[in-house]
Structures are given as C-alpha cells and as structure tokens.
Amino acid sequence: MNRLLTSGRIPTLAIFAFVLILESAAAQDFTIHRDFQFIPSHSTLIVDGGFAGPAFKQTYRAAGTFGLASGYESGVSCASVGCPPPPTHVPFARFDNVDAWLKPDGLLTYVLPLDHTLNLTGLDGTFNPSAPNKFSFTGDDGQGQPFHLDATIRGPLIHLVGENNPGCCDFQHLKFDAFAYLQPYPDFNLDGVVNTADYVTWRSNATAVNPDGTDATATNSANYELWRTHFGEVTDFSAFAGASAGLNTTTVPEPANVLLALIGLATISLRRRR
C-alpha cells in the first residue's frame, strides 16, 4: 500500500476511473416517453392542390394512437482526448408506435395510414430546454416534400400543427391540425366530456382505449377509478386559442373530386412505402 501511495498510482487510477464514469454517463440517453390518442373531432388533415388542380380540397380526420419520446442524448465529449469535463447532451424528440389512420369527411369511406402520409416517425425533432413541452419537427412528408410540425403539451392535451411546402408540380399541399389526449385519460368515447356516456362505454367494452396499460377491453377497477376521479371534466381547448387552423372544418367533396381524392391520397401512401 505504501508503495502505491509513493508511486502515485492511486491518483492515476482515480482519474482514469473518473473519466470512465463520465464517458459512461455520456453514452446514456435521458428519455421521457408519452402515449397519446387522437381526438377525431379536433384532428384534421386538409389536402388541396396537386395534380387535381387548385379547386381540389378534402378534409380528413385523424384517429388512433402514437407515442412521443423526448430527452437528452449524448453529444460530443473531449474525454477521449484526455480532458474530463461534463458531457454535452443534445435535446431530441421523436414519434414512435404510430398506429393511426385518416378517414375522409363526407361520403368517402376508405382509410389511410397516417404515418404513410405525414411520415411522423421519419421526422427529426428537438426542443428548447427552457420550454421542454414545446417541440419542433422537420423532415419530409410521404410525398418526399419538406414538412414542418410543431407540438405543444399543456395539461392532458397535445396540439400538433404541421404543414408541408410542396413547391410546385403534382405534389399536394398538406395542412395538419390535431389534438390528442395524454394517456391515461378516461374520455373513452372521445367526445370531450368525462361523463356517464364514458361509463357506458367502459361497461360495454366498446373502446380501444387502454388507460392503465393492461387489456384494452378489460372492464377492470383501474379503468373505473380513472373514470371516477375525472368525472365531470370537460376538455379545455382555450389554452390553444389562436393556434389552430383547421378545427371542426368539414369539406364534402364534389362528385367529380371523389375519384381524384382516392387517387391522390393513395399516391402519397405509395410514395411513402417506396
């Protein structure tokens, strides 16, 4: 022991161990994951223009679920060249587990995968550490056109507002404006109010909402307690006033545009798959 103290090996080993700890911390991701469910009555995608011409316009409703992960991933550290400062961590955000679809307003009855159209999982996201509940995403939509989306979380709601920049030619203009509930939340029928109608839905197992992480169709005590705790709550969108661009808009396509709508959105989906 005396030889180690006099030889200076302990300080050297201590520094080496300290650097290893810092490098290990730098390799970790600090991530928060949230699950959401779209509120179809307040979630729209407006599609216009493209090869169908400037007169074409169709509104779609978004339904289903998605995940949002955010945190700080390891950045650049100079520990590898001998200095042991705290590692730099870069804020990030990304969509995952997107299980959502688009259904047109009006007479059309087909549905399209939302992620094939908007390419949420392909977007790169970030946030300002001073405002960790506001996110910004950039990338390409399903047509390969530049797409920007902002997301804001306030209380039990997230608001998504996005738009592409098709530039020219046959690419369609996409404008997305959507709200979703942070899960768990017991508005099982998604009508904006937690009331007896949600109890009926819970009792009849008619919902695909899975608020407690177990069987989505289970009539269990956890789901009931969640409903009882929030009974009487009304979804408050006032905190987002002035930030929406397409809420509760309904566009019924002209008969001549029905076929164009089918072909147009199918084209977006096919381009995304390729």
> pLDDT per residue over 67-102, tens digit each?
999 988 776 555 555 555 555 678 899 999 999 999
Q: Residue 217 falls within a domain, yes or no? A: no
CA–CA dist 28, 139 (Å, integer): 25
Number of domains in the chain: 1
The pLDDT value given to residue 148? 97
Instruction: Establish if 207 belongs to a structural domain.
Output: no
Tell me the sheet residues that pair with 137: 125, 149
Is the distance from CB of 127 to CB of 135 less than 8 angstroms? yes
Instruction: In whole angstroms, give the CA distance from residue 210 to residue 143.
Output: 32
Residue 22 lies in a domain: no
Amino acid 78: pLDDT: 55
| Structural domain contains residue 8 | no
pLDDT value for 38: 94
Per-residue pLDDT, 110: 85
Q: Which residues are 48's β-sheet partners?
A: 57, 173
What does pTM read for this prediction?
0.72
For the record, the structure tokens of 99 come out as 């299980």
Please choose, from the candidates 178, 116, 169, the residue with its C-alpha nearest in 3D space to the C-alpha of residue 149: 178
**Residues of 191-223 as b/e, b for ≥16 C-beta within 10 angstroms?**
ebebbeebbebbeeeebebbbbeeeeeeeeeeb
pLDDT at 33: 93
Q: Report pLDDT for 207.
A: 53
* pLDDT per residue rounded down to tens, the chain (274 residues): 444 444 445 454 444 444 444 444 444 446 899 999 999 999 999 998 866 666 778 899 999 999 999 988 776 555 555 555 555 678 899 999 999 999 998 877 889 999 999 999 999 999 988 888 999 999 999 999 999 999 999 988 999 999 998 877 788 899 999 999 998 888 888 888 999 998 888 777 655 555 554 454 456 677 788 888 889 988 888 878 765 544 333 333 333 444 444 444 444 544 554 4
Q: What is the DSSP letter of 144?
A: S
Residue with tokens 């779209």: 38
Report yes or no on 230 lying in a domain. no
pLDDT at 240 (0 to 100): 83
In a domain, 57, yes or no: yes
pLDDT for res 186: 85
Structural domain including 84 reads 29-187+235-273
Angle of helix 196-204 relative to helix 221-230, nearest 10 degrees, comes to 170
- The whole-angstrom separation of Cα 65 and Cα 36 is 6
215 within a domain of the structure (yes/no): no
Does 54 map to a domain?
Answer: yes
